[in-house]
Amino acid sequence: MSRGRLRAEGYDVAQICLNGHVINATSRESPEDNSPFCGQCGSPTITQCPSCKTDIRGYLWGSMSLHFQPASYCLSCGKPYPWTETKIKAAHELAQELEDLSPEDKETLSKSIDDILSDSSRTEVGVTRFKRIMGKVGKEGTSALKSVLVDIISETAKKLLWPG
């Protein structure tokens, strides 16, 4: 990764596309690997939070991990990054498209999605409602919603919804 330069300390800055694909976890150390657009989806890339302009935390120098996963929310302002915001919107839209649900169930499902995004006093309430309503939905709808939510819901909600 260092290409012969002196390695930085602390966190590097990550370059991520608007859909959440990691372009370069070491954009300062290895700028030659940066790209204005994503090679996977063609979306523009960013290195700063669009809301507060803080650098996106990248690779931690000295870490033994070779895997880098970008945060879902900005560590400075708490706003969702664009890739997280897109998934949240997609989950809400998908909840409205599920044909097996009444309008009331769709509204409850949408609220439960908000409750399972982060660990809070409402997480277990959201999980309970989510499970109840998903019991009314077929495998296809359940699978689609899981694939959208799995990367953005809280770890507690993941363990309660999909143990193992």
pLDDT digits (tens, 9 = 90+) for 75-122: 999 999 999 999 999 999 999 999 889 999 999 999 999 999 999 999
7, two tokens: 């390695």
Total-model pTM: 0.86
The pLDDT value given to residue 8: 62
Residues 19-64: tens digit of each pLDDT: 999 999 999 999 999 999 999 999 999 999 999 999 999 999 988 8
CB atoms within 10 A of CB 45: 21
Q: In the chain, where are the structural domains located?
A: 1-79, 84-161
